Amino acid sequence: MHIGRYRLGSALVSTSTQTGKSATTGAEPSRPQTFVTTQWSVVLDAAHSDTTHAHDALAKLCQTYWHPLYAYVRRRGYSPEDAEDLTQSFFAALLQRKAVATVSPDKGRFRSFLLASLNHFLSDEWDKARAQKRGGGKVISFDTQAAETWLNQMPSDNLTPEKAFELRWAITLLEQIYRNLEEEHRRQGKAELFEVLRTTLAGPGNSAPYAELGTRLGLNAGAVKAAVHRLRQRYRTLLRETIAETVATEAEVEDELRYLLRIVGG
């Protein structure tokens, strides 16, 4: 996937972010008594627990969000080698609970927490980390070559470190939603349906006509239209659920959706 395909994400959520209505029903979203912030819960568990489960869950988050942080460090002017070392060292500190010991979810958005933690690490810990032998062990595995390719494709004149982080964060989040949607269809025995219809997630003009898609699936155009509608509804639902995991309160979901819309819309 590439950034061009993510422009559908902004089209899919544009109505719901402007109206505040549920993307799936058109009604006001339900208000649970307790707003569950999954990613904040992972951080808090890791901060106050020595269990393997808590450590592994935080490690998974690190694996998911390394790219935005690496992009930020590179745009700060560090070399690819130093940026990789710094990102690995930061995650090592995070997994050792150094950066999460006093964390509270009321600090706000998860992306803001990560960036603030990284900046703290840059100012207070990087000099000590550089004094250690390079290549002392990788905490997580990530593809710096792919990250460098992405950075080289971005316009460098106005891509500040903060913009690089925000754009890569948005892409990472949308990649996560796409993978979850694909895996969901696979589990339901609908892998072929998703494979054929996935191009419709890129908006009008980016996929074959419904009649052609129907021929591939053995469905008429009306059935394809209904299937596309369900696919897009599910995309919106997963988008809201994923956003909800990255903020501190339910009230922030709409703001974060609008933020994502601005980022992917350029």
Residue whose pair of structure tokens reads 């390079």 in the numeric block: 134
103 and 185 belong to one structural domain:
no
How far is 122 from 90, CA to CA, in rounded Å? 9
pLDDT computed for residue 35 by the predictor: 41
**Are 46 and 24 in contact, with CB atoms under 8 Å apart?**
no
56 and 137 belong to one structural domain:
yes
pLDDT band for position 124 (cuts 50, 70, 90): confident
End of a domain among 153, 187, 221? Answer: 153
Hey, what are 75's tokens?
A: 């745009």
pLDDT band for position 180 (cuts 50, 70, 90): very high
pLDDT, tens digit, 9 for 90 and up, residues 208-224: 899 999 999 999 999 99
Q: Pick the residue with more confidence: 46 or 203?
A: 203
Confirm whether 160 is domain-assigned.
no
pLDDT, tens digit, 9 for 90 and up, residues 71-108: 999 999 999 998 998 898 888 887 776 556 555 555 57
How far is 113 from 104, CA to CA, in rounded Å? 10
75 and 119 belong to one structural domain:
yes
74 and 93 belong to one structural domain:
yes
Residue type, 181: L
Domain count, the chain: 2
54 and 132 belong to one structural domain:
yes
44 and 24 belong to one structural domain:
no
pLDDT computed for residue 121 by the predictor: 86
Q: Pick the residue with more confidence: 254 or 54?
A: 254
124 and 45 belong to one structural domain:
yes
54 and 19 belong to one structural domain:
no
End of a domain among 124, 153, 182? Answer: 153
Q: Pick the residue with more confidence: 214 or 131?
A: 214
pLDDT, tens digit, 9 for 90 and up, residues 26-66: 433 433 334 444 566 666 666 666 667 766 777 777 788 89
43 and 134 belong to one structural domain:
yes
118 and 212 belong to one structural domain:
no
Question: Among 148, 173, 176, 151, which Cα is nearest to 161's?
Answer: 151
Q: Pick the residue with more confidence: 140 or 142?
A: 142
**DSSP tag of 137:** -
pLDDT computed for residue 113 by the predictor: 83
**Are 6 and 264 in contact, with CB atoms under 8 Å apart?**
yes
Annotate 203-264 with DSSP letters as a single string: -TTSS--HHHHHHHHT--HHHHHHHHHHHHHHHHHHHHHHHHTTSSSTTHHHHHHHHHHHHH
Confirm whether 164 is domain-assigned.
no
How far is 127 from 197, CA to CA, in rounded Å? 50
Its domain, for residue 201, covers 1-29+172-266
pLDDT band for position 228 (cuts 50, 70, 90): very high
